[in-house]
Structure 1
Amino acid sequence: MCRHVAHLGPPLALRDVLTVPPHSLLRQSWAPRRQRHGTVNADGFGVGWYAEGDPTPARYRRPGPVWADLSFADLVRVVRSGTFLAAVRDATEPGADGEAAAAPFAAGPWLFSHNGAVTGWPRALAPLAATLPAVDLLDLQARCDAALLWALVLRRLRDGDPPGEALAETVRAVAEAAPGSRLNFLLTDGRSIAATAWGDTLWYLTGPDGRTTVASEPYDDDPRWREAPDRTLLTATRTDVLLTPLKEPCT
């Protein structure tokens, strides 16, 4: 469910990743090539990006299909950024949260997206939700699994966990509470990218000019695309990509 992509490198027009390539995120909203669950991602979309000198990202999100939003094409044509994160959504369950349920979720310098679904939602995560401070629950941006997962990740970030550790520990806890969940996360602070492959596809592309793209699936047929193995944590900077195996939770 869902498709997402994050890009890090020298500034470029957002459309060069999101709409121009032959299998861009725009096309993946109705014709993904490697999506294992669901077929159409029409339940909302969003993009977040960083302007030079401003650590707090801007966002543009809408509740409907991205192909029906004429403003999106104009936006990605003129906005340039070195780091951005975008997603198209196939909702786990129908809901009334509108664009609030569309990634990327944001707080401070962070942008976050979830590709997947929590098994047994919402009851399966009730014990984990109970570990959060009340203010975190009251501050949930939507009533969907992705919003709660973001709250769990954000709590770890605010407690000082590095990005990769915050994702990995959240995946472990959720996988233990709700076995069979698909937990592909994507996180950026404008300077680095962290992602998990847990139950769905994750690919990455690096270029000689310091560009790194991490995505649910390749947006073109460039032979440099590499697939991250399932149960993997990916962390990327402008100079390096590191893949670390994720351990299954103890049973």
Structure 2
Amino acid sequence: MCRHIAVLGPQEPIGASLADPPHSLVRQSWAPRRQRHGTVNADGFGVGWYAEGDPVPARYRRAGPVWADLSFADIARVVRTGALLAAVRDATAADADGEAAAAPFTAGPWLFSHNGAVAGWPDTAAPLAALLPPEALLRLAARCDSALVWALVEHRLRGGDAPGGALADTVAELAEAAPGSRLNLLLTDGTSIAATAWGDTLWYLAVPGGRTAVASEPYDDDPRWTEVPDRTLLTATRTGVALSPLKEPCP
């Protein structure tokens, strides 16, 4: 369920990453090649990007399928950026949240997406929600599992945690509280990317010259795409990618 991508690199139109490649995120909304859960990602989409000199990203989100949005096609053609995060959504369960449930979620310089599902939602996650301060719960953009996952990550970021640590600790908590969850998380501040592979596919492409893409699946057949092993934390910049194992929850 869901497909997402983050890209760091030179300034280029959004569509160069999201629409132009033969197996782009737009195509993955109806014809993903490696999606293990669900088949069509038509329950909303979004893209966040950074303008040069401004650390706070802009967002464009809609509740419907990306292929039906002609305004997005224009934006993708003319808006240029050196960093973005985008996602197409296949909802875990029916909801009335509309575009509020579509990634990317955001706060300050951050853009975030969750590809997966919290098992047993919402009952299994209730104890974790109770650990958040009231203001964090009041900031929830939607009632879906991904919005709560973002609240847990955001709470750690606001507390000073590094991006990779915030994702890793959140995954550990959720995996213990809700065994069987799929927790592929993706986070960027426009200068770095952090991501987790936990229960679904994750790939990265590092191109000489300062371009790095991290995605649920490759958007083309470039042989340099590398699959990230399950239970792995990825951290990346424009010049390098690092992988480290994630801790399994205690039995």
Corresponding residue for residue 175 of structure 2: 175
Q: In 2, distance between residues paired with 1:215 and 1:133?
A: 32
**C-alpha deviation, 1:153, in angstroms:** 0.1
Residue in 2 that maps onto 1:209: 209
Counterpart residue number, 2:42: 42
SS at match of 1:59: strand
In 1: Cα distance, 2:231 partner to 2:208 partner: 27
Task: Give the Cα separation in 2 of the matches to 1:223 and 1:139.
Answer: 42
CA displacement at 1:239 relative to structure 2 = 1.4
Distance (whole Å) between structure 2 residues aligned to residue 9 and residue 235 of structure 1: 15
What secondary structure, in the 3-state scheme, does the structure 2 residue paired with 1:146 have? helix
Find the counterpart in structure 1 of residue 20 from structure 2. Answer: 20
1:184-203 to 2 correspondences below 5 Å: 184-203=184-203
1:76-132 alpha-carbon deviations (Å, 9 max, x no partner) = 100110000000000001000000000000000000000000000000001000000
Aligned-residue sequence identity (percent) comes to 78
Q: Residues 1-251 of structure 1: matches in 2 within 5 Å?
A: 1-251=1-251
After superposition, the CA RMSD in angstroms is: 0.4
Aligned to 1:148, the other structure's residue is in SS state helix
Q: Take 1:179 and 1:123, find their aligned partners in 2: how far apart are those partners?
A: 12
**Secondary structure in 2 aligned to 1:243?**
strand
- In structure 1, the gaps of 5 or more residues are none
Cα deviation for residue 247 of structure 1 reads: 1.2
Q: Which amino acid aligns with 1:133?
A: P
Q: Using structure 1 for the length normalisation, give the TM-score.
A: 1.00
Take 1:233 and 1:54, find their aligned partners in 2: how far apart are those partners?
28
Q: What amino acid does structure 2 have at the position aligned with 1:57? A: P
**Residue 219 of structure 1: SS of its match in structure 2?**
coil
The one-letter amino acid paired with 2:121 is: W
Deviation track 1:24-43 (CA, whole Å, cap 9, x = no partner) reads 00000000000000000000
| Equivalent residue letter for 2:246 | L
* SS class of match (1:74): helix
Cα deviations by residue, 1:53-96 (Å, 9 ceiling, x for unpaired) = 10000000000000000111100100110000000000001000
Q: Which amino acid aligns with 1:11?
A: Q
Paired residue secondary structure (2:93): coil
Runs of 4+ aligned residues of structure 1 deviating over 6 Å after TM superposition are none
What's the offset of the Cα at 1:240? 1.2
SS of the residue corresponding to residue 218 of structure 2 reads coil
Q: Once the 2 structures are TM-superposed, how far is the Cα of residue 9 of structure 1 from its aligned partner?
A: 1.0
Gaps of at least 5 residues in structure 2 are: none
1:244 deviates by: 0.4
Give, in angstroms, the shift of residue 238 of structure 1. 1.5
3-state SS, counterpart of residue 235 of structure 1: strand
Amino acid in structure 2 at the alignment position of 1:59: R
Tell me the amino acid that sits aligned with residue 226 of structure 1: T
State how far apart, in whole Å, the 2-side matches of 1:223 and 1:173 are: 35
Instruction: Give the counterpart letter for 1:32 in structure 2.
Output: P
What is the CA–CA distance in structure 2 between the aligned matches of 1:110 and 1:208, rounded to whole Å? 25
Work out the CA distance in 1 between the residues paired with 2:58 and 2:138: 23
